[in-house]
Amino acid sequence: MNTYTTVPSGEQVVQELPWRWKVQGRIFLIGGLGFMFDAWDVTLNGILIPLLSKHWSLSPGEAAWIGASNLIGMALGAFIWGTIADTIGRKRPSPPRC
Protein backbone atom coordinates (compact mmCIF):
# COMPACT_ATOMS: atom_id res chain seq x y z
CA MET A 1 0.00 0.00 0.00
CA ASN A 2 1.46 3.36 -1.05
CA THR A 3 1.20 6.30 1.29
CA TYR A 4 1.41 9.65 -0.40
CA THR A 5 2.33 12.73 1.58
CA THR A 6 1.70 16.22 0.36
CA VAL A 7 4.75 18.36 -0.24
CA PRO A 8 4.37 21.81 1.34
CA SER A 9 4.41 24.74 -1.03
CA GLY A 10 7.06 27.43 -0.82
CA GLU A 11 4.55 29.84 0.68
CA GLN A 12 3.67 27.38 3.46
CA VAL A 13 7.34 26.86 4.28
CA VAL A 14 7.96 30.60 4.50
CA GLN A 15 4.84 31.19 6.61
CA GLU A 16 5.92 28.57 9.13
CA LEU A 17 9.43 29.98 9.64
CA PRO A 18 10.05 31.53 13.07
CA TRP A 19 10.28 35.33 13.19
CA ARG A 20 13.61 36.59 14.47
CA TRP A 21 13.90 40.33 15.03
CA LYS A 22 17.67 40.23 14.84
CA VAL A 23 17.58 39.19 11.17
CA GLN A 24 14.11 39.57 9.67
CA GLY A 25 13.29 42.61 11.79
CA ARG A 26 16.34 44.50 10.59
CA ILE A 27 15.63 43.60 6.97
CA PHE A 28 12.00 44.69 7.39
CA LEU A 29 12.94 48.03 8.99
CA ILE A 30 15.77 48.86 6.58
CA GLY A 31 13.68 47.93 3.55
CA GLY A 32 10.69 49.86 4.88
CA LEU A 33 12.75 52.98 5.54
CA GLY A 34 14.34 52.76 2.09
CA PHE A 35 10.94 52.48 0.44
CA MET A 36 9.57 55.33 2.57
CA PHE A 37 12.36 57.75 1.61
CA ASP A 38 12.16 56.76 -2.05
CA ALA A 39 8.39 57.32 -2.10
CA TRP A 40 8.85 60.56 -0.15
CA ASP A 41 11.27 61.86 -2.78
CA VAL A 42 8.87 61.14 -5.63
CA THR A 43 5.93 62.63 -3.70
CA LEU A 44 7.83 65.83 -2.91
CA ASN A 45 8.78 66.03 -6.56
CA GLY A 46 5.12 65.93 -7.56
CA ILE A 47 4.06 68.47 -4.94
CA LEU A 48 6.89 70.98 -5.21
CA ILE A 49 7.24 71.25 -8.99
CA PRO A 50 3.84 72.93 -9.51
CA LEU A 51 4.46 75.26 -6.56
CA LEU A 52 7.95 76.23 -7.64
CA SER A 53 7.04 76.57 -11.30
CA LYS A 54 4.42 79.15 -10.34
CA HIS A 55 6.85 80.94 -7.98
CA TRP A 56 9.76 80.92 -10.45
CA SER A 57 7.56 81.43 -13.56
CA LEU A 58 8.75 78.22 -15.21
CA SER A 59 7.31 76.96 -18.45
CA PRO A 60 5.84 73.44 -18.52
CA GLY A 61 8.93 72.23 -20.40
CA GLU A 62 11.28 73.59 -17.76
CA ALA A 63 9.21 72.04 -14.99
CA ALA A 64 9.30 68.73 -16.85
CA TRP A 65 13.12 68.88 -16.98
CA ILE A 66 13.22 69.29 -13.20
CA GLY A 67 11.05 66.21 -12.72
CA ALA A 68 12.99 64.19 -15.27
CA SER A 69 16.34 65.17 -13.75
CA ASN A 70 15.12 63.99 -10.35
CA LEU A 71 14.19 60.57 -11.74
CA ILE A 72 17.43 60.32 -13.73
CA GLY A 73 19.39 61.20 -10.59
CA MET A 74 17.58 58.46 -8.66
CA ALA A 75 18.39 55.91 -11.37
CA LEU A 76 22.07 56.91 -11.53
CA GLY A 77 22.34 56.90 -7.75
CA ALA A 78 20.80 53.44 -7.54
CA PHE A 79 23.19 52.14 -10.21
CA ILE A 80 26.30 53.69 -8.65
CA TRP A 81 25.52 52.89 -5.02
CA GLY A 82 24.25 49.43 -5.92
CA THR A 83 27.55 48.69 -7.65
CA ILE A 84 29.49 49.99 -4.65
CA ALA A 85 27.36 47.95 -2.24
CA ASP A 86 27.88 44.80 -4.32
CA THR A 87 31.62 45.38 -4.44
CA ILE A 88 32.03 46.06 -0.72
CA GLY A 89 29.30 43.90 0.74
CA ARG A 90 29.54 40.65 -1.20
CA LYS A 91 31.16 37.70 0.47
CA ARG A 92 33.72 35.82 -1.54
CA PRO A 93 32.78 32.22 -2.20
CA SER A 94 34.75 29.73 -0.18
CA PRO A 95 37.04 27.43 -2.18
CA PRO A 96 35.61 23.98 -2.91
CA ARG A 97 36.56 21.24 -0.49
CA CYS A 98 38.10 18.09 -1.85
Q: What is the pTM of this model?
A: 0.56
Integer angstrom CA distances of residue 43 from 35, 40, 47, 48, 68 = 12, 5, 6, 9, 14
Model pLDDT, residue 2: 52
Model pLDDT, residue 8: 81
6-35 residue pLDDT tens:
788 888 887 888 877 888 888 899 999 989
**67 close to 49: Cβ distance less than 8 angstroms:** yes
What does the DSSP assignment read for 3-56?
---PPPPHHHHHHTSPP-IIIIIHHHHHHHHHHHHHHHHHHHHHHHHHHHHHHT
Query: Domain residues of the chain, as ranges?
Result: 39-89
pLDDT category at 69 given cuts 50, 70, 90 is very high
**62 close to 53: Cβ distance less than 8 angstroms:** yes
88-98 residue pLDDT tens:
887 777 777 76
